[in-house]
Chain A
Amino acid sequence: MNPIIIPRSEHPISRSMIDEEALKVLYRLHRHGFLSCLVGGSVRDLLIGKVPKDFDIATNAHPHEIHTLFKNSRIIGRRFRLVHVFFKGGKVVEVSTFRSHSEFEETLTDDGEILKTDSFGTPQEDALRRDITINGLLYNIADFSIIDYVGGIADLQKKMIRTIGDPDEKFKQDPVRMIRVIRHAARTGFSIEDRTYRAILRHREELKKCSPSRLRDEFLRDLKGGASKPSLCLMFRTDLFLSLFPGLDRVFGDRNPFKNRDRDFFLSLFTLVDELVKMGRPVPESILFALFLTPVLKVLTPEHPFLGEKEQHFYRAQGMRLVIRNILTPFSVPKGIKEMTSLILLVQSYLKKAIDRGIIPRRMRTKKYFQEAVLLFGLEAQARGEEVPRLLRNAVPSDLLPWWPKELKKRYRRPRWRIAPKKGT
């Protein structure tokens, strides 16, 4: 298969757009006679005009050869070995050797056993093993050209997300790719190719076969990426969301008569998360889970009709903990984050009470989770179009709730005693 080679004069990627450290690695590999290319999302982002988050480099040098060239490097990974090159200021450049198949594809031997060897390959094989066409582009440092084996340039121009090769086969090999396709479509605003879209609809139930921790990581990347709302919208449209969380059928599925109202509220919460991410303020995972569970808990934990106020509180707390455990445990969410999520959600009722009373007790303000609980309260209030009382705003740092700047009460000062001027002077 002949690649399409786009010379420097025909594409906008200049070396000044590439990170200094990444260029250093690329040049050193090239000087020592190896083929070195910038690959993956960084090339895509540079072509779209976005600033890439990280620069991944692929080369035909083996990991130990890369390690000998860079003293400031470390070989990582058990099954697929990569080299991390460390630079000042905590910067890390990931260098991998061209591979012939993906990390999560399982290659079977003739005896039916899973092949667990490094499978180095050619640049073409490396491009073909990737999931979507726009991620399969290579930027060659030797002549500053772009090498396109998969038709990525054409798809970038058409603004289309398409899997490399047969989508059915790709999604069967690794169903997590469906979430990745949706994430890329949401982030770039591109449309999903019809064949790929139909393949997602066919294979969505296969997500259940994937490792829960991988699903959790991919889903969290969706939420943290700054395009969580379009991503969740697409997930609802393809029903991938209910395949991922079958237990939430009662909340977002047809079993809930108010599903549209609950979906809208859920999406409006994540619109605010996107706003925060775009402001450069990362949202902690516990808040993301708490936001995710807020509309869920409203439906799944109704109040007990015969209990008194105090008992009702314990009943609600127990119910919340049960539901949170039920939803998050299958995704092997760390215990600390699960506990923090539960606390943030439980403290919401206390916050409401404190606001009604007009004072936030010191014992509440000094809790570790107080700021996160206030952020959740603020996000919920903003999604509903309500205001956060000044009392709560003033109890937290001014940049925590960007929608409501801190309003400090003017401190009362006793008027100065003025000495009356003496008569006759």
Chain B
Amino acid sequence: MRIKVNKEKCSGCHLCEMVCSLFHSGIIHIGKSAIRIQKDDLGTSLNTPLLCRQCKEMKCLDGEEGVSTQERKKFIWSHKRAKRCPFDALTILSENAYHCDLCLGNPQCIKVCTTGALTLSK
């Protein structure tokens, strides 16, 4: 199960960021959300939601052996893993990185995304 992103449809409302941090940490904080909206540098209206792609071959765990399934599903990871991600998908805040745990099977960002930019694919 992963969250599929259609960046053309994203309006850049930041609701997904807010709901993610509120669901996991009880506070609205863009640094503590597993999803983040990146605005285009050229000033166009293109917004790109960035979040963990749930890769089958997890490059972020390279060099670590015997990582348990429980550890892989955690929301707060170490920032070292985020640096290994080839898509730069995880949010880093000081020593922590925030990784999408799919809200225990009921992703909140998909619930609030009214434009349909975020969908669930199985």
Contacts and interface: CB of A to CB of B under 8 A. Distances in A.
Interface of A: 247, 249-250, 299-302, 304-307, 314-315, 318-319, 322-323, 326
A-B residue pairs, 10 tightest by C-beta: A319-B28, A301-B28, A300-B27, A250-B26, A319-B18, A250-B27, A322-B18, A247-B26, A315-B14, A318-B15
Nearest to B14: A315
A314 B30 CA distance: 15
Given A304-B14, A314-B13, A315-B14, A322 B19 contact: yes
Given A249-B26, A322-B18, A323-B28, 16 more contacts: A247-B26, A250-B27, A300-B28, A301-B28, A302-B29, A304-B14, A304-B30, A306-B39, A318-B13, A318-B14, A318-B18, A319-B18, A319-B28, A322-B15, A322-B19, A323-B22
B26 A302 contact: no
Contacts of A299: 27
A258 to B, nearest CB: 14
A300 B26 contact: yes
Contacts of B22: 300, 322-323, 326
27 contacts: A247-B26, A249-B26, A250-B25, A250-B26, A250-B27, A299-B27, A300-B22, A300-B26, A300-B27, A300-B28, A301-B28, A302-B28, A302-B29, A304-B14, A304-B30, A315-B14, A318-B14, A318-B15, A318-B18, A319-B18, A319-B28, A322-B15, A322-B18, A322-B19, A322-B28, A323-B22, A323-B28
Most buried by A among B25, B26, B28: B28
Question: Per DSSP, are chain A's interface residues mostly helix, strand or loop, or mixed?
Answer: helix
Interface of B: 13-15, 18-19, 22, 25-30, 39
Contacts of A300: 22, 26-28
A250 B26 CA distance: 7
A322 B109 CA distance: 12
A318 to B, nearest CB: 6
A106 to B, nearest CB: 32
A326 B18 CA distance: 12
A299 B15 CA distance: 18
A366 B45 CA distance: 36
A301 B19 CA distance: 11
A273 B30 CA distance: 35
- Most chain-A Cβ atoms within 10 A of its Cβ — which of B13, B14, B29? B14
A319 B22 CA distance: 9
Contacts of B29: 302
A304 B13 CA distance: 12
A305 B15 CA distance: 15
Nearest to A297: B28
Nearest to A319: B28
Contacts of B28: 300-302, 319, 322-323
A110 to B, nearest CB: 40
Contacts of A305: 30
A299 B25 CA distance: 13
B89 to A, nearest CB: 19
A306 B39 CA distance: 10
B35 to A, nearest CB: 14
Among B27, B29, B39: residue with most chain A CB under 10 A: B27
A167 B15 CA distance: 46
Nearest to A300: B27
Contacts of A326: 22
A323 B28 CA distance: 8
A306 B40 CA distance: 13
A307 to B, nearest CB: 8
Contacts of B18: 318-319, 322
Contacts of A304: 14, 30
Nearest to A306: B39
Most chain-A Cβ atoms within 10 A of its Cβ — which of B19, B25, B26, B29?
B26
Contacts of A315: 14
B80 to A, nearest CB: 25
A299 to B, nearest CB: 7
A258 B91 CA distance: 26
Contacts of B39: 306
B10 to A, nearest CB: 14
A299 B29 CA distance: 10
Contacts of B26: 247, 249-250, 300
